[in-house]
Structure 1
Amino acid sequence: MRKIILGFDQKKAMEDNLELKDLVLLRFIVDGINDKWLLKKEIDGEVFYWVKMSAILETYPVIDLKTKDSIRRRLKVLVEKGYLKYKLYFSGGKYTFYNITNLTKELCIFNGGYSKDRKNKNLKGNKFNKKEFPPRNKVSLDNIDENSIKEVVDYLNFKIGANYKSSSNGTITYITTLIDEGFSINDFKCVIDKKYKEWAKTPYEKYLRPSTLFKKQNFEEYLNQKENHEILTPDYEAFDEF
């Protein structure tokens, strides 16, 4: 029997009846903490990390946990076994934060990200390929300006006749990231006005949405776009990435 599996002590895992899917979940959280792509927050004097269930589903479909609720139930088991601790945090929505315990640290053969651990001689020849979880924009929940986000989303909804939620995690991240970059509420309204004027009542109209308008790599370009009153033929292939 191999001593190491996913960077954990396999014998200890078996003694505590941990399944492979449990180790995958722990690996996700350990790597997220050490590689600093899980959002960190101090709650009641303790440090916790936001674990988004959909991110686990997308990153590890192989573990055969099909829903967010199934992930939550499995994490609850790890909490009950003492490998995780958790807190619920309410801020325009309910967020679940977790952290590892000393029991998890004892289970780890090494604490670094698994991609780096492949250099370790104990993993020589290991064919496990981790699907890397892409780094996310780090947005502190403490820095969220809920009034500004609501003003931007309300303006977009009014302009296009939609009902986007200012409490949506994705929308919060898009808008807060841009505010942190120094963009103002008037900049958001300017982009909304420009793209509405250009795209309304055209096949582009479906892209009048937060994920396109407020995407960091799009926003500054839209803001500085000179208004062109000529009617142009749309290049639909340009939108394949959205």
Structure 2
Amino acid sequence: MIILVNVAVTYHGYRESGYDVPAPLVPMRGMPAYARATAGLPIDLADRLVFVATDELAEQHGFAHDVSLRFPHIPTAVVQVPTTTGSAGAIRAALGHLDETAALVVHPGSQLVRSALAARLGVMSEMMGLAGVIDGDVVGTGAWSADTFVTCDRTGRIDAVAAHWTDGAMALTGTLVTSGDAGATRELVRLACELDPATSTADIVTALIRRRLAIGVDRVAASWDLSHAAGLGAYLAHR
């Protein structure tokens, strides 16, 4: 069973330190996914870490204790949520720790839950997509499904891409970066409060684009995660 683990990380003084990447909110799956997903982030620049984890993970695996051991020099907090919580629920759970005027990153790490077979075949290394949301336009998206491969290069085609994001063969994950200065973080929080808590990052991105609130969304990086054996079979059949 794959347990959805939502992890929120807030940073202050990030841009002041010379980095152009905003402070992240990090939802991810797997155990210990938080350690893997935060490995590439400049944790030393953070003055506070807020992890939003499922009840099951927090209770059975000593999540809060593990977090405090891994980051002993940074004040940390763990917020427990139901196992069914998605990215929208993670944002809502972290509201008390988030600054809506600051930059924010939503980063799932679903590559940590690849099946052993998919890993051996190197599916993840081959099936990669990239989407950039700049000035309200989707400037480059690759969306793969069992039936077709589609490319979206303008906001108007988001419906076609969204249909393939949820087709069940492959699951979209990615990184959503919002700008606090442009008000996108505030709009993202507002949207997360309106949506079902189980809403995924892909659906949040789709809703942002449909509502044309992509101003201040600096980029969306999409990767592909094999979700079941049928997806692998479809991929191999189309090679």
Structure with the higher helix share, 1 or 2: 1
TM range (shorter): under 0.3
Structure with the higher strand share, 1 or 2: 2
Q: TM-score by structure 2 length?
A: 0.26
User: Which structure ranks higher in relative contact order (CA pairs < 8 Å, sequence separation ≥ 6)?
Assistant: 2
